[in-house]
Structure 1
Amino acid sequence: MKKIIDKNGRLFGLVSLIDLAVLAIAAVLVAALLMKDTASPIVNIAAPMDDISYELTISNMPEGRLNSLKVGDTLYDNETYNPVGTIADIKTEDCVISILKADGTFDYATVEGRYNVVLTVDAKAITDERQHIYVNRSSLVALGWSLNVYTQASTFSGLITGLTK
């Protein structure tokens, strides 16, 4: 009959107990990292929602994608699939990139068919006790945050560059 733990400290002669302990600790750490940011925000359901407006800046947007955006389109969050507002205004400017020249200086050039776009988005939001703003009670918005959104015709990501309550 085989011993449970042999003279080398292996379980059933196959796996070391130390190896099992290391694997268990690694599994717990991986689970903790995966679950770290998955908690839903605790938001007062009864709190009234306020009107806010924020600017979403999209760089280097192709002309075809720009043409698919219309004032009045609803934006949806790619993570929660909840609406995060309605496009109130669309401002565009030519996309300009910097080019490194052979002498080590930079020059600027316009990219044909590409645009930098600023969307003004109107939304309903609540503010929690830590002054975090949640659009539609689910999507956190703050200055400098990246927001991945989609409409019925397009998907893109932008940076929140303005926020007005």
Structure 2
Amino acid sequence: MKLIDDRGRLFGLINIIDLFVVLIVLGVVWGLLTRTAVLERLNRSYAEKPVEILFLVENVRQYTVDAIQPGEVVRELRSDETVGTIRTVEVRDYKEKVPDLEGNWHMSPVPGKKELFITVEGRLKEYNGAFRVGQSDIKVGSKVTLKGKRFNVETFVLKIQD
């Protein structure tokens, strides 16, 4: 038995052209089904809610502290979406664990380094109970890179109030 006979049939059962047409139709149907499933996931409904977020910025110099001012609009770095407006900036000395001569560990301030607690008010999109900015989830403990007119800082989310 030949693979393709003299009439152009595969194993004498089905014409090769018919087989290609059936495969193309099945491919189109499969593509439409998967595309609509992907679009449904992407087009989830969301609601914008007013939130107040507390961010922590660690281990920065005074130049960065001076650049971050209340009233400035803050955006997420990758998506360039607005997170909100800085309401307050609290500056503290940055501290690290340091051993003493007896082997005990103590928190000691690092000269020239600060940590910032930035409170931001804004309106964020809430998808299925989680706040999002661009492709980043805004959850307590998550790392978010924020940018303003004169700064880019890596922050940690400490608190979210809606």
- TM exceeding 0.5: yes
Aligned residues: 125
Q: 1:42 to 1:90 in 2, by over 3 A?
A: farther
Q: Rate the CA distance shift 1:40–1:65 in 2: closer, same or farther, 3 A.
A: farther
Distance 1:73 1:45, change over 3 A: farther
Pair 1:90 & 2:83 matched: no
For residue 151 of structure 1, report the CA deviation from its aligned partner.
Answer: 1.0
RMSD: 2.5
User: Identity of counterpart residues, as a percentage?
Assistant: 13
Alignment-mate amino acid for residue 89 of structure 2:
I
Which residue identity lines up with residue 140 of structure 2 in the other structure? L
| Residue in 2 that maps onto 1:134 | 132
Q: Give the match for residue 30 of structure 1.
A: none
Q: Which residue of 2 aligns with 1:70?
A: 69
Cα distance in 2 for residues equivalent to 1:76 and 1:148:
9
Give the secondary-structure state (helix, strand or coil) at the position aligned to 2:65: helix
Contact 2:44 2:127 in 1 (8 A): no
Question: Which structure shows the higher helix fraction?
Answer: 2
* Structure 2 CA distance for aligned equivalents of residues 41 and 64 of structure 1: 46
**Segment of structure 1 superposing worse, 48-57 or 108-117:** 108-117
Instruction: Read off the aligned partner of 2:88 and give its amino acid letter.
Output: D
TM-score (norm 1): 0.66
- Residue identity in the other structure for 2:131: I
After superposition, the C-alpha distances for 1:48-99 in whole angstroms (9 at most, x for unaligned) are 4111010001111211110011111111212112222211111111111111
Structure index of larger Rg: 2
Partner of 1:59: 58
TM-score normalised by the chain length of structure 2: 0.67
Q: Which runs of 5+ in 1 are unaligned?
A: 1-38
Cα distance, 1:138–1:40 mapped onto 2, change above 3 Å = farther
User: Residues 44 and 91 of structure 1: is their aligned pair in 2 closer, same or farther, counting only changes over 3 Å?
Assistant: farther
**1: CA distance, partners of 2:102 / 2:140:** 37
Report the CA distance between 1:144 and its aligned residue.
0.6
Aligned residue among 138, 142, 159 for 2:156: 159
Letter of the 2:149 counterpart? Q
For the residues of structure 1 that align with 2:49 and 2:100, how far apart are their CA atoms? 50
For 1:108 and 1:141, the matched residues in 2 are separated by 29
> How far did 1:100 drift?
2.4
Distance 1:41 1:112 in 2: 52
Match of 1:144 among 141, 155, 158: 141
Q: Per the alignment, in what secondary structure is the counterpart of residue 49 of structure 1?
A: strand
For the residue of structure 2 that corresponds to 1:147, the secondary structure is strand
Specify the SS of the correspondent of 1:58. Answer: strand
